[in-house]
Amino acid sequence: MTRLSEKTKKYVKDEIVSVLFNSRAAMYANQVSANMGRDKEFIKHMLLELEEMGVVVRFDKSRKGKAYKERCRWRLKPEVEKAFRQMQ
C-alpha cells in the first residue's frame, strides 16, 4: 500500500467533507467513495479520523431504529454544516 503524505490526507478529508455537505442526507462510506473515485476502506478510515476530530457523526441505526450489522451512515455535525453555510 502506498503511503500518503499528511497534505494528501488533509486534501482527501476536505473532499469528504465537501461531498457530505453537498449531499443533504447521510451517506454510506461506499457512496462517498463512489463520488470521489477512491477505495471504500480508505474512505472509511478517513471518516473515522474525521469522527475523532469532531467533524462528522456516525449513524449505526436505521431511521426506524434498527441497528445496522456491518455498515453505518455518515453526516456532517450540525455545527460544522452551519459554519459552512455561513461561509457561503
Domain ranges of the chain: 6-87
pTM value?
A: 0.88
The model's pLDDT over 5-49, given as tens digits with 9 standing for 90+, comes to 999 999 999 999 999 999 988 999 999 999 999 999 999 999 999
Residue 70 pLDDT exceeds 90:
no
Q: Tell me how far apart the 2 most distant CA atoms of the chain are, in Å.
A: 41
Provide Rg for the chain, Cα atoms.
13
Handedness of CA 83, 86, 8, 75 (dihedral sign): positive
For 6-87, give the CATH class: mainly alpha
